[in-house]
Structure 1
Amino acid sequence: MSPTAHSTSDKKTSAAARVLGSAAAGIAEIGVFHPVDTISKRLMSNHTKVTTLHELNQVIFRQAAAEPFVKRCFTLFPGLGYAACYKILQRIYKYGGQPFANEFLTKNFKDDFDGWFGPKNGKALMSATAGSLIGIGEVVLLPLDVLKIKRQTNPESFRGRGFLKVLADEGFGLYRGWGWTMARNAPGSFALFGGNSFAKEYIFGLKDYNQATWTQNFVTSIFGASASLIVSAPLDVIKTRIQNRNFDNPEGGFTILKNMFKNEGITAFFKGLTPKLLTTGPKLVFSFAMAQSLIPAFDKLLRK
């Protein structure tokens, strides 16, 4: 097979650049979007129908619903410490780790992907598959995600306990819902990196994805983020409800799924999707585009 028949590989960036670029993206994201994330989580955790602005206000601001607007806004920052630790580590792992997985697949399975799907599709699907593998492994960070969500949606579950006390008391219970998390992350990350790669391949015709401009990264991140949120929405609702309940509540994912079908109907699996696309979507686009732009920039800087 001629060299031009193969998909070309991206220029390799250093590990330090991947860590720095991803961490910077995570820090910027948490600084701008934590209140938005809190609103999204509270909407997904709500079990009742919301038909009026008054009810929406109650769901979002809870006990502070009657407070002045500025004071209500300050209640949207619970769990900021957990969120910062989780988000920065998650972005380093996800955005910085996916290129390593992609390089592994390129080195060992490039010809297979090219043969099965063609050079252009093969390269994009390798990137998507690498993202899916990284997404599955993201479950190791689950305890920090659980604590963040509980702080945002169910702070009473802490009962005055600090971080170390919760870790000692709950142990591996903080990994409750790990199977649902992996089931959500695998297709979600596949769609994120796949949608992004296909957009770079077919909209901009990029041979080296790392050479994308900020504008190109922003546009392609919109495709990836939208696909990821839509694909993972049903499992994300189940995962959130598993994580936000009290520590001593043994209700499992399948019980939650059955009760959602019975009491709320099929639309319950897409609760919070519209605000999530409008809120979490920009957050994901922002951090993903920033990471993709900063990693090559840090790489150039470190090579000087």
Structure 2
Amino acid sequence: MSPAAASSDKKQSGLARVLGSASAGICEIAVFHPVDTVSKRLMSNHTRVANLTQLNSVVFREHADKVLGKRLFTLFPGLGYAAVYKILQRVYKYGGQPFANEFLTSNFKDDYYSYFGAKTGKALLSATAGSLIGIGEVVLLPLDVLKIKRQTNPESFKGRGFLKIIADEGFGLYRGWGWTAARNAPGSFALFGGNSFAKEYIFGLSDYSSATWTQNFVTSIVGASASLIVSAPLDVIKTRIQNKNFDNPESGFTILKNMAAKEGISSFFKGLTPKLLTTGPKLVFSFALAQSLIPAFDKYIK
């Protein structure tokens, strides 16, 4: 395959990218917020879960003895923060990565193609663009912090509203930003890279935007699975940093040391199985939907 053929992706408008990724974010939060709450609470749990009774206590906490309907309702804390964060995140990530990819392609395509070949070079350009976007995602960290605290440690709010917390905590809301960037860089690299490699080597697509819904779904599974596995250890540390009380600035390295000493190496993959079964489908759903909706909106707009 020639370099020209390998770089023949159709470019969508910025508006289409915003509308497609925002729509994917809205659909994702509507379907998966309770699942995300369960995953975050499992990752934040420091004890061994050996039976359903213990699992019930970890997931539903003080509401564990309530009837099922009331228990399920408690899985929607922080929905407002989650909605704003998720929509902005998906617009930034899914809508921004194509712009970063186009920039890298226009400036470094020859280097990538000469080192890795046209097909692999093109996929790695997409992966690198995803990694850069993932690092920049730390800008949205305060919303993610507030969402996770509402899901796992609501006592930390002490009756304060959003604006009061912003005023009180300031840059403290960026606690754990380094660990977040360290998680996002390989995680986003694997997400977009796995997706691109699947499109290149499974379906042989020269124009990624021409993929069908089924192709986007399959390639999203590959990318999402790779992303979750690669980022799992750093994600556990990031979550534990963020779910602490605002007045407990325990460092990531302290958490890492304590986890290794007290809980063992396997603790760095706590919640990975439920995350693959819960966050995995959520990521696959939104990623596949965004990749399908962006070309659809672009076609409609034009």
TM range (shorter): over 0.9
Tell me the TM-score normalized by structure 1. Answer: 0.98
- Looking at structure 2, the residues matched to 107 and 275 of structure 1 have their Cα atoms a distance apart, in angstroms, of 40
User: Contact 1:22–1:92 (CA<8 Å) still a contact in 2?
Assistant: yes
Residue number in structure 2 paired with 1:33: 32
- Looking at structure 1, the residues matched to 203 and 2 of structure 2 have their Cα atoms a distance apart, in angstroms, of 21
- Looking at structure 2, the residues matched to 3 and 168 of structure 1 have their Cα atoms a distance apart, in angstroms, of 55
CA-to-aligned-CA distance 1:212-250 (integer Å, 9 cap, x gap): 000000000000000000000000000000000000002
- Looking at structure 2, the residues matched to 55 and 267 of structure 1 have their Cα atoms a distance apart, in angstroms, of 19
Within a 5 Å distance, the mapping from 1:98-247 to structure 2 comes to: 98-247=97-246
User: Contact 1:225–1:284 (CA<8 Å) still a contact in 2?
Assistant: yes
- Looking at structure 1, the residues matched to 2 and 80 of structure 2 have their Cα atoms a distance apart, in angstroms, of 50
> The residue matched to 2:300 in structure 1 has which SS?
helix
Aligned residue identity for 1:98: Q
- Looking at structure 1, the residues matched to 240 and 286 of structure 2 have their Cα atoms a distance apart, in angstroms, of 25
User: Contact 1:18–1:92 (CA<8 Å) still a contact in 2?
Assistant: yes
User: Contact 1:34–1:77 (CA<8 Å) still a contact in 2?
Assistant: yes
Within a 5 Å distance, the mapping from 1:260-299 to structure 2 comes to: 260-299=259-298
Aligned residue identity for 2:36: D
- Looking at structure 2, the residues matched to 250 and 37 of structure 1 have their Cα atoms a distance apart, in angstroms, of 24
User: Contact 1:6–1:114 (CA<8 Å) still a contact in 2?
Assistant: no
- Looking at structure 2, the residues matched to 285 and 121 of structure 1 have their Cα atoms a distance apart, in angstroms, of 22
Residue number in structure 1 paired with 2:12: 13
| Residues 1:54 and 2:60 are matched in the alignment | no
Cα pair distance change 1:4/1:261, threshold 3 Å: closer
- Looking at structure 1, the residues matched to 110 and 5 of structure 2 have their Cα atoms a distance apart, in angstroms, of 8
Aligned residue identity for 2:241: I
Q: 1:7: how far off?
A: 2.4
CA-to-aligned-CA distance 1:135-172 (integer Å, 9 cap, x gap): 00000000000000000000000000000000000000
Aligned residue identity for 2:173: L
Q: 1:68: how far off?
A: 0.4
> The residue matched to 2:6 in structure 1 has which SS?
coil
- Looking at structure 1, the residues matched to 137 and 3 of structure 2 have their Cα atoms a distance apart, in angstroms, of 36
CA-to-aligned-CA distance 1:27-51 (integer Å, 9 cap, x gap): 0000000000000000000001110
Ranges of 4+ aligned residues in structure 1 off by more than 3 Å: 2-6
User: Contact 1:124–1:201 (CA<8 Å) still a contact in 2?
Assistant: yes
Gaps of at least 5 residues in structure 2 are none
- Looking at structure 2, the residues matched to 290 and 58 of structure 1 have their Cα atoms a distance apart, in angstroms, of 34
Within a 5 Å distance, the mapping from 1:55-74 to structure 2 comes to: 55-74=54-73
User: Contact 2:2–2:118 (CA<8 Å) still a contact in 1?
Assistant: no
- Looking at structure 1, the residues matched to 218 and 276 of structure 2 have their Cα atoms a distance apart, in angstroms, of 15
User: Contact 2:191–2:226 (CA<8 Å) still a contact in 1?
Assistant: yes
Aligned residue identity for 2:288: A
Residue number in structure 1 paired with 2:43: 44
Q: How many correspondences in the alignment?
A: 302
User: Contact 1:226–1:281 (CA<8 Å) still a contact in 2?
Assistant: yes
- Looking at structure 2, the residues matched to 210 and 259 of structure 1 have their Cα atoms a distance apart, in angstroms, of 45
> The residue matched to 1:206 in structure 2 has which SS?
coil
Aligned residue identity for 2:71: R
Q: 1:79: how far off?
A: 0.0
Q: 1:5: how far off?
A: 6.9
Cα pair distance change 1:113/1:57, threshold 3 Å: same
User: Contact 1:233–1:269 (CA<8 Å) still a contact in 2?
Assistant: yes
Aligned-residue CA RMSD (Å): 1.0
